[in-house]
């Protein structure tokens, strides 16, 4: 079946512009995560959506970052007034939250963002 998809795969923008990154999770997955991976670094947690609950925004680095998830499916991560330090790969993952099995995350291919 279809996995997690993200678009665009690459985005180049100018400093100060706003960008929107999209994530389509696996159908039926109620949990959705956004991570940021800077060059040579691990994954930095940004935000977590779980069903209809209020999202966990504890990882967002500043108020320029926001995300929403419409209809419990597609999610958009928005970065306003981009800065050069926002350049990174942004990864989205989704997982099931039913049953007793470990909640394995399935990742998308990421969006590579370059802020000039």
Partner 1 sequence: AQTVTQSQPEMSVQEAETVTLSCTYDTSENNYYLFWYKQPPSRQMILVIRQEAYKQQNATENRFSVNFQKAAKSFSLKISDSQLGDTAMYFCAFMKHSTGTYKYIFGTGTRLKVLA
Which tokens go with 50? 């779980």
In angstroms, the Cα distances linking 74 to 27, 30, 43, 69, 86 are 10, 11, 21, 6, 22
Helix (H) or strand (E) holding 21, with range, is strand 19-24
- Interface residue with partner 1 among 13, 20, 56, 80 (CB under 8 A) is 56
The reply on whether position 103 binds partner 1 by CB under 8 A is: yes
Given a contact cutoff of 8 angstroms between Cβ atoms, the answer to whether 87 and 75 are in contact is no
- Interface residue with partner 1 among 93, 94, 113, 115 (CB under 8 A) is 93
- Interface residue with partner 1 among 46, 91, 113, 115 (CB under 8 A) is 91
Residues of the shown chain interacting with partner 1 in the complex, contacts defined by CB under 8 A: 31, 33, 35, 41-43, 45, 48, 50, 53, 56, 89, 91, 93, 95, 97, 102-107, 109-110, 112
């Amino acid at each position: 079946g279809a996995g997690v998809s993200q678009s665009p795969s690459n985005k180049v923008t100018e400093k100060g512009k706003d960008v929107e990154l999209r994530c389509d999770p696996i159908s039926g997955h109620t949990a959705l995560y956004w991570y940021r991976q800077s060059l040579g670094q691990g994954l930095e947690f940004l935000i977590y959506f779980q069903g209809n609950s209020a999202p966990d925004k504890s990882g967002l680095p500043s108020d320029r970052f926001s995300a929403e998830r419409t209809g419990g499916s597609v999610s958009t991560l928005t970065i306003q007034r981009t800065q050069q330090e926002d350049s990174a790969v942004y990864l989205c993952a989704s997982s099931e939250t039913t049953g007793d099995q470990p909640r394995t995350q399935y990742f998308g291919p990421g969006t590579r963002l370059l802020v000039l």
